[in-house]
């Protein structure tokens, strides 16, 4: 006799291969775990999207011929209230359609708001009866091309959501500093790094030499422990190199308002060729960098900031 489900609907029972039906357990099935967001966007749609004042904004699924022509693509989820994208993704097949389908079919309280923030955003955007738009930004790409387009658009729009490649957007001077070669200051080059300001700060000699808080032990150029050169640093990059002749009190008429010491020196072409344009960030340390950092000065003063 065919087994019957609890609700009385006959079930199809597979054969064991010996002409006898398998005996299926009547115990209650174990509840399925809450699916991950990837499971949600990968499953087939259960029903067409509701039709509101804007009409359905995307098909339930693409025809097979369209899927083959789309290949790998980059897509946008667009908030109907603002007309601005709030998510940029990559995918193949019907992946771009699954976010909206999952948001409409999954109960809002499953997993809590923090587990599926993208679905919460879709529900919030559609709460007024308008539909989130799904737009194809670029198709027919290789997976690597799609990742590059995705991260570029995320950076350009300032969306900030996680991507495989990671963000690279930033001021040109900061990006250049990050790509610059690291300086390796030689042990026989006892220098003081004077940080003049952020990237783009002008550093003419007549102004940059004034107003530095240099400890007394370091202004005696006759001492073998004192710095012999100044490397003027802007941001993390060395902008100029000077051989120190001597230090003097900062004149009151310089307008610095901080007193301190002023170095007197001349440009050093040899050190300039070695260090100018190089990144000294590792010597400056993490967090808020000191304006004055000594490197290879004194018997034990390596990368010691005042």
| Number of domains into which the chain is organized | 2
- Both 58 and 117 in one domain: the answer is yes
- Both 223 and 292 in one domain: the answer is yes
Q: Is residue 247 part of a domain?
A: yes
What does the block give as tokens for 26?
A: 């009547």
- Both 72 and 184 in one domain: the answer is no
- Last residue within a domain, chosen from 128, 157, 186: 157
Domain that holds residue 82: 37-157
Q: What's the pLDDT at 252?
A: 76
pTM of the predicted structure, to 2 decimals: 0.57
The more confident residue out of 255 and 72 is: 72
Q: Is residue 8 part of a domain?
A: no
pLDDT band at 9, cuts 50/70/90?
Answer: very low
Q: Which DSSP symbol is given to 18?
A: S
Q: Is residue 6 part of a domain?
A: no
Q: What's the pLDDT at 178?
A: 81
Q: How many residues does the chain have?
A: 306
Q: What's the pLDDT at 10?
A: 39
The pLDDT tens digits of the residues spanning 21-56 come to 444 444 445 544 545 555 555 444 444 444 444 444
What is the side-by-side strand order in the sheet with 191-197? 261-267, 237-249, 229-234, 191-197, 292-295, 304-305
Q: What's the pLDDT at 259?
A: 66
Q: Is residue 20 part of a domain?
A: no
| Angle, CA 237 vertex, CA 232 and CA 242 arms, to 5° | 25
């Amino acid at each position: 006799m065919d087994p019957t489900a609890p609700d009385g609907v006959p079930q199809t029972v597979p054969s064991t291969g010996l002409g006898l039906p398998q005996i299926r357990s009547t115990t209650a099935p174990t509840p399925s775990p809450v699916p991950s967001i990837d499971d949600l966007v990968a499953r087939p749609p259960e029903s067409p999207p509701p039709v509101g004042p804007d009409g359905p904004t995307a098909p339930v699924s693409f025809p097979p011929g369209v899927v083959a022509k789309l290949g790998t693509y980059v897509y946008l989820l667009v908030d109907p209230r603002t007309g601005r994208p709030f998510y940029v993704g990559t995918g193949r097949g019907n992946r771009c359609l699954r976010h909206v389908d999952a948001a409409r079919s999954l109960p809002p309280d499953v997993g809590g708001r923090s587990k599926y923030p993208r679905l919460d955003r879709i529900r919030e955007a559609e709460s007024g009866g308008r539909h989130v738009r799904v737009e194809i930004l670029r198709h027919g790409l290789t997976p690597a091309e799609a990742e590059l387009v995705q991260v570029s658009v995320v950076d350009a729009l300032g969306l900030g959501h996680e991507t495989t490649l990671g963000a690279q957007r930033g001021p040109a001077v900061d990006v250049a500093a990050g790509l610059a070669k690291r300086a390796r200051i030689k042990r026989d080059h006892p220098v003081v790094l004077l940080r003049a300001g952020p990237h783009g700060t002008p550093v003419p000699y007549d102004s940059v030499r004034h107003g530095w808080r240099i400890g007394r032990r370091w202004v005696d150029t006759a001492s073998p422990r004192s710095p012999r050169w100044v490397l003027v640093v802007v941001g993390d990059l060395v902008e100029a190199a000077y051989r120190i002749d001597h230090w003097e009190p900062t004149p009151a008429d310089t307008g610095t308002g901080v007193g301190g010491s002023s170095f007197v020196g001349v440009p050093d072409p040899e050190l300039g060729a070695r260090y100018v344009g190089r990144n000294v960030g590792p010597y400056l340390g993490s967090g808020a960098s000191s304006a004055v950092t000594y490197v290879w000065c004194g018997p034990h003063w390596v990368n010691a900031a005042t």
